[in-house]
Amino acid sequence: MAELVVTNLNRNFTGVSATAANVVARQQHRYDMVLAGVALPGCPAPVSLARARMLSRTPPAERPFAIWHVRRNTEMRAALWARDVLRLPIRIVFTSAAQRRHSAFPRWLISRMDAVIATTEEAARFVPHVRAVVNHGVDTARFTPAPDRARAWAALGHGGTRGIATIGRVRPEKGTDLFVDTMVRALPDLPDVTALVVGRATREHQSFEARLKDKVRAAGLGDRILFVGERSPDELTALMPALSAVVQLPRYEGYGMVPLEAMAAATPFVASDTGYYRAFSAQDQAGRVVPREDAIAAAAALTGLLGNPEAHSAAARAARATAQSQFSAETEATGIGAVYETLWSTP
């Protein structure tokens, strides 16, 4: 019987998937656990929900119940069905990163959880049953600095001698338009730099993407601002250390793993003041945080960072050190484990 069931019911590899994978890769060595749903890189082969329910029919050895750890609405629903309808001996833990009030149905689902883990102190304000605040962590063994950043960038074949990128879905909430505006301002002062938009536009945002491409062409930067589409987890692992900076300018972000993954690869960032980016920046040592919707400030921060080799080297060193010391996946797994142990020890 499984002690721990971790669910991943989204076929797309999202930020939630990435954070779950970081933790599951460590939990598999700590617990008798199964991953239910869709595969995650570096994690055990998944089982079906039906199999997970079967493995939860009786309590595991020396435990009063199994724990199901969920991260999405669909996963909360599946776990509630198992606990409240099928009456399986399980308890449900939900991780919440949102830094805003949930809508009515998710609020009801969250109210039915046995324990909630918030990823930040701000996120904890919006959910009940918070047992701990545990920051998301990055896999600092997977994301590592390149021995030679320039050579790593050249190997990718995108042109220029340095690269920067924004990574995520192409849509207004993610600030892809603000990235383009920032590049239009900054790239004339950075003639050796190529900028990448890494991510795809869903059908509803394809016209938004088309307008951005038109803006790039009108600025005469079609060969320097490239829309390269979605990249696999393995491709992102290779991309991060090759970049000279990551630029993330969302209008809203619950937490935001991209700058943290970049930091682990010794790549500093420029980001808007949302998510947990200010904490990542370590007082602007590892990255630069600018006001939301301010492409002028973002361009100035980026040109200041990339135009000063000494400042860039210092930021790269601070980025890697901060990721290792404050935001490792190992630390996150330990903090989550403490919540499990509290549940298991509660009569």
- Please determine, for residue 249, whether its predicted confidence score (pLDDT) is greater than 80: yes
Mean pLDDT value across residues 234-255: 95
Residue-level pLDDT at 52: 98
Residues 164 and 255 in one domain: yes
**Looking at the domain assignment, is residue 143 inside a domain?**
no
332: left (phi over 0), alpha (psi -120 to 50) or beta: alpha
Residue 231 DSSP label = -
**Looking at the domain assignment, is residue 144 inside a domain?**
no
Q: How many domains does the chain have?
A: 2
Judge residue 341's burial from the number of C-beta atoms within 10 Å of its C-beta, 0-12 exposed, 13-18 middle, 19 or more buried. Answer: exposed
Q: Which amino acid is at 126?
A: F
Mean pLDDT value across residues 325-339: 94
**Looking at the domain assignment, is residue 276 inside a domain?**
yes
Residue-level pLDDT at 233: 86
Residues 229 and 333 in one domain: no
The 10s digit of each residue's pLDDT in 84-140 is 999 999 999 999 998 888 999 999 999 999 999 999 999 999 999 999 999 999 999
Residue-level pLDDT at 1: 83
Mean pLDDT value across residues 312-333: 95
E-strand stretches of the chain:
4-8, 33-37, 66-70, 90-96, 115-118, 130-133, 162-167, 193-198, 225-229, 245-248, 269-272, 287-290
- pLDDT tier, 34 (very low <50, low <70, confident <90, very high otherwise): very high
The 10s digit of each residue's pLDDT in 168-194 is 999 999 999 999 999 999 999 999 999
Mean pLDDT value across residues 283-305: 97
- pLDDT tier, 236 (very low <50, low <70, confident <90, very high otherwise): very high
What is the residue range of 125's domain? 4-137+328-345
Residues 103 and 192 in one domain: no
**Looking at the domain assignment, is residue 49 inside a domain?**
yes
Residue-level pLDDT at 272: 97
Mean pLDDT value across residues 309-336: 95
Residues 88 and 157 in one domain: no
Residue-level pLDDT at 12: 87
Residues 295 and 155 in one domain: yes
pTM value is 0.85
Here the CATH number for the domain that contains residue 25 is 3.40.50.2000
Residues 184 and 300 in one domain: yes
Residues 11 and 46 in one domain: yes
Mean pLDDT value across residues 19-29: 94
Residue-level pLDDT at 13: 87
Residues 218 and 310 in one domain: yes
The 10s digit of each residue's pLDDT in 38-87 is 999 889 999 999 999 999 999 999 999 999 999 999 999 999 999 999 99
**Looking at the domain assignment, is residue 89 inside a domain?**
yes
Residues 109 and 121 in one domain: yes
- Please determine, for residue 347, whether its predicted confidence score (pLDDT) is greater than 80: no
Residue-level pLDDT at 99: 86
- Please determine, for residue 338, whether its predicted confidence score (pLDDT) is greater than 80: yes
E-strand stretches of 244-290:
245-248, 269-272, 287-290
Residues 156 and 304 in one domain: yes
**Looking at the domain assignment, is residue 93 inside a domain?**
yes
Residue-level pLDDT at 15: 84
**Looking at the domain assignment, is residue 37 inside a domain?**
yes
- Please determine, for residue 161, whether its predicted confidence score (pLDDT) is greater than 80: yes
- pLDDT tier, 342 (very low <50, low <70, confident <90, very high otherwise): very high
How many C-beta atoms lie closer than 10 Å to residue 203's C-beta? 6
Residues 99 and 187 in one domain: no
**Looking at the domain assignment, is residue 142 inside a domain?**
no
Mean pLDDT score across all residues of the chain: 95
How many C-beta atoms lie closer than 10 Å to residue 117's C-beta? 27
The 10s digit of each residue's pLDDT in 210-220 is 999 999 999 99
Residues 321 and 339 in one domain: no
- pLDDT tier, 346 (very low <50, low <70, confident <90, very high otherwise): confident
